[in-house]
């Protein structure tokens, strides 16, 4: 009987799901990220991205150095007022759907640099989805932040008809 | 040639320009008049002391004192492994001093930094423009009277 089943390919097997959930599942495991690295947190980003901690395990392994090809913006490090227009432009160039991670205390809140030059948190310039604290954050914290973002993507309303939005 | 003698030589060469010489934390310090800076620096670089390298050039704001600003130059002699510090005071009303770009190339950016953050004008500098802060930035942020909470964002910030 078992031998019989092995010979024939399974038929009539299907799963039911919602299109929204399916799209979320696909999107959360295919994050192309753009690293906007400005400061020392970049070392921790490299550590998280390379083989030891390997964010590729979570589907975010492909680094794109063009904002137009990426959908996850990693803001890694201190953002100054001089650099703020650049970051804003990079964010605007990314195509929808897009998500932003503030990586490290400086990107989250300005960190120790409460002075004339530094933006006090990138959420003053662009919307942020996940904040990863730490100065710098350990790679485990980064992975935790990535999982949090995946959870958010899975459960959000997947707007997929970008050019056909109802008014 | 020993350090003591270089300070002595400086006093001999520039009796009017060199105001004071002292030793501080193991380094020789010459306090000079700002008008004599270019001549003293030329002598130190080309003379027997051979201070071929300008390590650093910076400014200190002693708010409330007069003269208010102090320029500090750190020189290093590669051939003799010796350091020398030159200090000179600048009044707030006349924030001008000779540029050292003709002697040491790296003075270019260092002087632009001091101009940016303190507002000191370097006469003879080829391209005196802000180095760190952006165009349209008002004031000089490392002065003690720059408001602590003053921000000059280039784009509109969300609250």
Per-residue confidence at A122, pLDDT binned at 50, 70, 90? very high
Best mutation target, B118, B134, B140, B144, to test chain A (most A CBs within 10 A): B134
Dihedral of the alpha carbons of A13, A19, A21, A25, in degrees to the nearest 10: 80
Looking at the domain assignment, is residue A163 inside a domain? no
Indicate the average pLDDT of chain A: 87
In words, the CATH class of domain B3-123 is alpha beta
Output the pLDDT for position B15: 85
Dig out the tokens for A95 from the structure.
């195509």
Q: Which structural domain range is residue A140 located in?
A: 31-154
Bridge pairing between strands A33-37 and B69-77: unpaired
Q: How many other C-beta atoms are found inside a 10 Å radius of the C-beta of residue B29?
A: 17
Output the pLDDT for position A166: 54
Separation between Cα atoms, residue B117 and residue B139, nearest integer Å: 8
- Interchain CB distance below 8 Å, A81 and B152: yes
Sign of the alpha-carbon dihedral angle for A64, A66, A69, A70:
positive
CATH number for the domain spanning A106: value is 3.40.50.12280
Asked if B10 and B18 count as a contact pair (C-beta separation under 8 A), the reply is: yes
- Interchain CB distance below 8 Å, B155 and A82: no
Output the pLDDT for position B110: 94
Per-residue confidence at A162, pLDDT binned at 50, 70, 90? low
Nearest to B154 among A85, A115, A116 (CB): A85
Per-residue confidence at A73, pLDDT binned at 50, 70, 90? very high
Looking at the domain assignment, is residue A83 inside a domain? yes
Q: Which positions in chain A touch B133 (Cβ < 8 Å)?
A: 82, 117
Q: How many CB pairs under 8 A join A and B?
A: 33
Looking at the domain assignment, is residue A3 inside a domain? no
Residue A167, pLDDT above cutoff 70: no
ipTM above 0.90, yes or no: no
Output the pLDDT for position A165: 55
Instruction: Give Dmax over CA atoms of chain B in angstroms.
Output: 63
Domain total for chain A?
1
Looking at the domain assignment, is residue A4 inside a domain? no
Write down the residue that tokens 């195509």 correspond to. A95
Could you please report the per-residue DSSP string of B66-119? SS-EEEEEEEEETTTTEEEEEEEEE-SS--EEE--TTT-TTHHHHHHHHHHHH-
Looking at the domain assignment, is residue A6 inside a domain? no
pLDDT digits (tens, 9 = 90+) for B49-103: 889 999 999 999 998 888 999 999 999 999 988 899 999 999 988 899 999 999 9
Separation between Cα atoms, residue A54 and residue B116, nearest integer Å: 43
Looking at the domain assignment, is residue A25 inside a domain? no
* Residue B152 contacts A, CB cutoff 8 Å: yes
DSSP 8-state class, residue B151:
-
pLDDT digits (tens, 9 = 90+) for A8-53: 766 777 778 888 888 889 999 989 999 999 999 999 999 998 888 9
Output the pLDDT for position B18: 86
Query: CA dist A107 to A28, A47, A86, Å?
Result: 23, 18, 14
Q: Provide the β-strand partners of residue A35.
A: A74
| Closest residue on chain B to A123 (Cα) | B158
Output the pLDDT for position B13: 84
Looking at the domain assignment, is residue A22 inside a domain? no
Output the pLDDT for position B22: 85
Per-residue confidence at B2, pLDDT binned at 50, 70, 90? low
DSSP 8-state class, residue B29:
E
Output the pLDDT for position A12: 73
Separation between Cα atoms, residue B144 and residue B117, nearest integer Å: 11
- Interchain CB distance below 8 Å, B153 and A84: yes
- Interchain CB distance below 8 Å, A116 and B153: no
Q: Provide the shortest C-alpha distance from residue B66 to chain A (in Å).
A: 26
Q: Provide the shortest C-alpha distance from residue A122 to chain B (in Å).
A: 9
* Residue B144 contacts A, CB cutoff 8 Å: no
Instruction: Please state whether A77 falls in left (phi above 0), alpha (psi between -120 and 50) or beta.
Output: left
Output the pLDDT for position B14: 86
What is the reported pTM? 0.82
Q: Which positions in chain A touch B146 (Cβ < 8 Å)?
A: 116
DSSP 8-state class, residue B28:
E
pLDDT digits (tens, 9 = 90+) for B39-64: 999 999 998 888 999 999 999 999 88
Looking at the domain assignment, is residue A54 inside a domain? yes
């Amino acid at each position: 009987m078992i031998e019989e089943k092995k010979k024939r390919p399974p038929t009539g097997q299907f799963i039911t799901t919602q299109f929204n959930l399916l799209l979320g599942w696909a999107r959360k495991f295919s994050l192309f990220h753009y690293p906007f690295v400005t400061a020392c947190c970049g070392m921790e980003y490299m550590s998280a991205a390379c083989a030891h901690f390997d964010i590729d395990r979570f589907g975010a392994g492909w680094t794109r150095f063009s904002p137009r090809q990426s959908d996850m913006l990693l803001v890694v490090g201190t953002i100054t007022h001089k650099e703020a227009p650049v970051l804003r432009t990079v964010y605007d160039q990314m195509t929808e759907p897009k998500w932003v991670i503030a990586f490290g205390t400086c990107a989250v809140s300005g960190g120790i640099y409460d002075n004339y030059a530094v933006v006090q948190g990138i959420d003053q310039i662009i919307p942020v989805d996940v904040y990863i604290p730490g100065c710098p954050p350990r790679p485990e914290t980064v992975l935790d932040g990535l999982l949090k973002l995946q959870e958010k993507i899975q459960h959000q309303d997947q707007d997929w008809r970008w050019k056909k939005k109802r008014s | 040639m020993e350090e003591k003698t270089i300070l002595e030589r400086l006093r001999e060469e520039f009796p009017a320009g060199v105001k004071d010489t002292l030793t501080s934390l193991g380094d020789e310090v010459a306090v000079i008049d700002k008008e004599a800076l270019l001549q003293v620096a030329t002598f130190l670089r080309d003379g027997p002391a051979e201070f071929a390298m300008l390590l650093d050039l910076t400014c200190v704001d002693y708010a409330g004192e007069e003269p208010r600003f102090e320029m500090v130059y750190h020189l290093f002699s590669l051939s003799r492994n010796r350091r020398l510090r030159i200090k000179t005071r600048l009044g707030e009303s006349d924030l001008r001093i000779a540029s050292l770009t003709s002697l040491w190339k790296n003075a270019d950016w260092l002087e632009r930094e001091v101009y940016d953050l303190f507002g000191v004008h370097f006469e003879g500098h080829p391209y005196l423009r802000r180095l760190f802060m952006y165009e349209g930035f008002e004031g000089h942020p490392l002065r003690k009277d720059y408001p602590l909470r003053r921000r000059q964002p280039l784009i509109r910030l969300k609250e």
